[in-house]
Chains A and B, each alone.
Chain A
Amino acid sequence: MDPHAPPLHGSLPPGGDLPRGGPAAGCMSTHPPPIVEIRDLWSGFRNGGVETLIHKDLNLSIAKGELLSIVGGSGSGKTVLLRQILGLETPMRGSIEVLGRPAAELTHAGAASRVGMLFQHGALYSAFTVLENIAFPLRELKALPEDLVRDAVMVKLQMVGLDPSHAHKMPADLSGGMIKRVALARALIMDPPLLLLDEPTAGLDPDRSDAFCTLVRSLHQELGLTVVMVTHDLDTIYEISTRVAVVADKHVIVNAPPREVIAFDHPFVRNFFLGGRGLRAMELLRLHPTDV
């Protein structure tokens, strides 16, 4: 790998619809209704009487079938944004619509069939076995027979690349990569159209992290999922995302395919993507020409 590889600017499609600065709302036009629509979002928290603003007039719209990476510096409120999309936190101002309904209603009954979430540390129920963890949303319906539930779990378990023999293990007996896979299987058990991932490859070794990326990409294609993920991992961003939204200066400064984001002129983008690590990871862009 040559760290002094020529920057990719030359290979960019000429012109293109590069978003100009300012609150770059999704430059997608509106013909299919977006899966997630965030308008004029303000959020912050109060700590000892001091109010800290994280988001100010943040706009983001995520179209169906995207595989969007949200990137931003530490403390730029990426995870907060994800939690707000899930309806776990209420923003100070602005509106978030997920699948055409306010995000606050997302956590109501039946949420598992609308959205799946992979938490950073898996958030498996430690009192349940792998099988019971994945089956949990299905069993909560309290109508499907046990053998059908078990069959559905076994299919999902193998879809995420785990061996059926792990079904009876407890989460405490699993490795980090396996926990993520089980958590992914649980998030997908009801085949939700929207999948959110919080740092999906954090804590995985490069091998497993590659395997996980391949898995997410193939699931995205096979199931027609819309995937939103928060990540720091440049390899993951280049390898699988179809779009990248950069959160900086309290709003989304750019939301575009990876190649266009790299060309965007902003100090954060330059540091993040065009630093030493960024240049090395960019090799991937050439190895895996971004599909779509």
Chain B
Amino acid sequence: MSDIQPRIVFEQAPQGMHARLLGLWTAENLAVPAHWDALQAALGDLPQEWRSWHWDLRQLQRMDHTGAQLLWNAWYRQWPDTLHTSAAQRAMLERVAQFSSVLPPRRRQTALDMFLRLGAVVVRVEEHVVGAVRLLGQLLLDAIQLVRAPRAGPWRDVSGHLYRIGATALPITALVGFLIGVVLAYLMAQQLRQFGADAFIVNILGVALIRELGPMLAAILIAGRSGSAITAQIGVMRVTEELDAMKVMGIPTGFRLVLPRAIALVIAMPLLAVWTTLAALLGGMLASDLVMGLTPAYFVTALAKAVQVSNLWLALGKSAVFGLMIALIGCHYGLRIKPNTQSLGEGTTASVVTSITMVILVDAMFAVVFKNVGI
């Protein structure tokens, strides 16, 4: 099937040069590298006298618009003097000739554009801040309304979100917590053994896991898992005009979308933090038993002495704050999504990055503010 190779045969005849086009001049066939290179060599720079040649397209197997365009461009976008074609080929070439126009250039960037872009950044930051404050304020108002009329609350939504955000996250948080506990215990055991301070592993694990790592791990996992889901859910509702449908029915989106998610996360986050901490402690306890021979019974009794209860309250408190933040950031980005898929992807990414960053930032603030508590 070498017959399909697009090519031109030049023949010297008494009346002048004849150029016969052969083969399959379609985009797919032209794109075969060997075909393209060979054709480019033949057609690349036609000499001055190309117009006086006799061009014959009648033996072509097939030509599509891309092939016709290639030929037209090779002809310097002019008609040759003598051209033999079928009616369809001529129609195609005429269409290409008629519509071959120069692409209007994109507007060039000017210094003014860049200056204006700087302003746009400021405006966007302002929009974010205003949006976040408005969301928080609306949540507060909704919460007051909920307290006044608890029966009218979106409790069914809350319970659904509790299940999806909280219950279904139990396995993954437990697994991650357990493994971190094991890793931490192994590392610490090595170091402590050098000082003969083996028993202090309980203190280190207890304070680190209960006060910091448990809540942090849970919050980061939930920010990645549920923060993105919240943004995507609300974003898809925007794309499919569900948000508008809710507004038209007179259902406040804040009360029905933001409030239930916030409540669910504020409840679920501390529970998940405790759950993750327990799994991590279990991992640490097992590892200490294996590496240093600390019995679980000793671990549990020593833990109670090493860690004050206030640490637990601190962990619960900041977990609730993390939960609220993740819900608000997820909803904030979800409500800002524009009705196209690219915006959906960007919004989801921004939501996860922001909520993880904020979780770590707020954790650091907690650490500074409560440095005298529980240690």
Q: Residues of A at under 8 Å CB distance from B?
A: 110, 113, 126-127, 131, 138, 141-144, 147-148, 150-152, 154-159, 164-165, 167-168, 170-172, 189-191, 222, 224
Contacts and interface: CB of A to CB of B under 8 A. Distances in A.
Interface of B, helix, strand, loop or mixed by DSSP: helix
B66 interface: yes
5 contacts: A138-B27, A144-B30, A152-B69, A164-B103, A191-B26
Interface string B324-366: 0000000000000011111000000000000000000000000
Nearest to B239: A126
Question: Looking at chain B, what size class is its interface with the partner chain?
Answer: 20 to 34
Contacts of A224: 88
Given A152-B69, A222-B91, 19 more contacts: A126-B340, A127-B342, A131-B103, A141-B28, A144-B30, A144-B36, A147-B73, A152-B66, A154-B100, A155-B65, A155-B69, A155-B96, A155-B99, A164-B103, A172-B339, A190-B26, A190-B64, A191-B64, A224-B88
Contacts of B96: 155
A141 B35 CA distance: 13
B250 interface: no
B31 A142 contact: yes
A168 B105 CA distance: 9
Contact of B99 (A141, A158, A172): A158
Contacts of B101: 154, 158, 164
A156 B64 CA distance: 12
B27 A141 contact: yes
A147 to B, nearest CB: 8
Given A154-B101, A155-B99, A159-B95, A143 B340 contact: no
Nearest to B97: A155
B196 interface: no
Interface in B60-110: 64-66, 69-70, 73, 88, 91, 95-96, 98-101, 103-104, 106
B111 interface: no
B34 to A, nearest CB: 10
B32 interface: yes
B100 A155 contact: yes
B70 A148 contact: yes
Given A113-B28, A126-B341, A167 B104 contact: yes
B33 interface: yes
A167 B104 CA distance: 8
B149 to A, nearest CB: 37
Contacts of B91: 222
Contact of A144 (B31, B106, B339, B340): B31
A67 to B, nearest CB: 17
A254 B239 CA distance: 40
B99 A154 contact: yes
